[in-house]
Structure 1
Amino acid sequence: METPGLSVGAVARRLGVSASTLRTWDRRYGIGPSRRSEGSHRRYDASDVARLEVMHRLILQGAPPGEAARVALGGEAGREEAREPRAHGAGGNRLALSTAPARTRGLARAVMALNGPVVTGTVREAVARDGVVRAWEELISPVLRSIGERYAATGEAVEIEHFLSNAALAVLAEVTAPPPHTQTRPVLLACAPEEQHSLPAYALGAALAERGIAGRMLGARVPEKALRDAVERIGPGAVFVWSQMPYTGDTGVLARVPGGRPAPRVIAGGPGWARPLPEGVRFAASLPEAVEAVAEALGMPG
């Protein structure tokens, strides 16, 4: 007796997509069930499922759905053609990272597919194996830059940036538990007033925690008065302020950080700051430089 085939729900569970996605693929691209059961319900046979598995895999690798469907319907020759999916203009379904290491390209593909488990697992593995600084410099930051370039060119991918930022933030939070015992003054971490891009400051907090340095995070869009009050409240050894966008980089905020005995070292990070910076303010052009600047301010070089 011929097997009855699989329902749309069963195939959706097998691929990890929704039933409505399968129906859309059938309607738009003609890649759907080829049989009907006795009750006239359409059923997927083994060859239908195999084609869908090819399509799904190619989409996760960065191919646009239409091209993935064409390849899946075309058989083995088409699969060879699509091993490196083409970007369609400035859009498409992948980021411009063709020369990046395989791990970075893999993260980019997972981000574009909004594949949470793969994104989180990739970032967590990199942080555990290489540490926060290297994971940031070689994995997270290149993908974020590529997303930014895509947004500048097309106005798209805001949701992709938010998705990666939230996943990375969750992993960094696992690293940022305050050290149980520290003899150094704390470090205050904040974003400039109206600055909403806070992930780099959280990356610094996690990198400092790896070195046993306690950070106090104020987060995004910190009003100047709140920053000043926090400095006066805890007497930090260093104050790091991040500005991503030029309209948030008012250097007067840095100049007006309260002093003390001893005064905290003020460190500015991010491309938003105008030049020149106020006297005594150090600029950190990268995460490694920010970590070293903080360590030096606390008398912990090396």
Structure 2
Amino acid sequence: MYHLGHCGLGRMVSVSGPRTYSLNVYGTSYTFGAWGRDANPAPGDENKYWLVVLSSSNVYGHFIRQYNTLSTLILGIGPTDTYISSSNPTTNTIQGPNMVMYGNTLYYNCYNTYSVCQFNMTTRAVSTVALPNDAGYNNKFPFAHLGTTYIYTDMDFATDESGVYVIYASTSNFGNVVISKVETSDPPVLSQTWSTSLHKKTVTNTFMVCGVLYATRYLDKEIEEIFYTYDTKTNEERYDLRIHIKKMQPNIKYMNYNPRDHLLYVYSDAYIVTYVFQEVQ
């Protein structure tokens, strides 16, 4: 079992980069997708990278592409494809660009439901756990900016040093962000849940680091700003962060932190990008 990094005591944050930047192997038409590394890989899989491009209507996906190294991903050499289903979209296939890989298992929003899907890459078995029945799905509470919504982004998924989270909004929390820890058992279960005052449609993306939720917003086509944090240990909210991320393309459709390498993995208008995330002591 891979041992995850320890959390620092700092809260001063910097984001530098981009460190890597490349068009995805499918080309510029596929503007919604996700990519990264397993946050808790099986022995022998430590160097693998995964890529999911939403190949149907920029909304749906039904297979995960894996590469042995970052360079083979960028060059598009020797991929391995693992199919959730033979057709797209259908029961249990991927809906929306937000997903994470943890323990050789993909976590994502199942097609046309308010459920979390857990897809085991080895057995190809799918297990699910439902969110509360007032949770947004099918574009009820997507990420958005300037009157533009990022379609089918009702559920976001995040990894940090302690595991997997799902970030969503509910009517009982007035369309504000809710964070639930996903226990990575089979089937998965939702454990501790936190309600925030952050309205989800004012946010373009979220990610977790050391139990702290970070939220971004669109400033202009060149800059994304981390403006908000919610600490699940103290329940403290802050709206006063001013941490800028220099974008290579105007829209960030996917962002997730990997605790193994402290990188932010970003899918931005068909480009795959990484940034270095640091908590300064």
TM (normalized to structure 1)? Answer: 0.24
Q: Whose strand proportion is higher, 1 or 2?
A: 2
Q: With the length of structure 2 as denominator, give the TM-score of the two structures.
A: 0.25
Greater helix fraction, Structure 1 or Structure 2:
1
**Relative contact order (alpha carbons < 8 A, sep ≥ 6): 1 or 2 greater?**
2
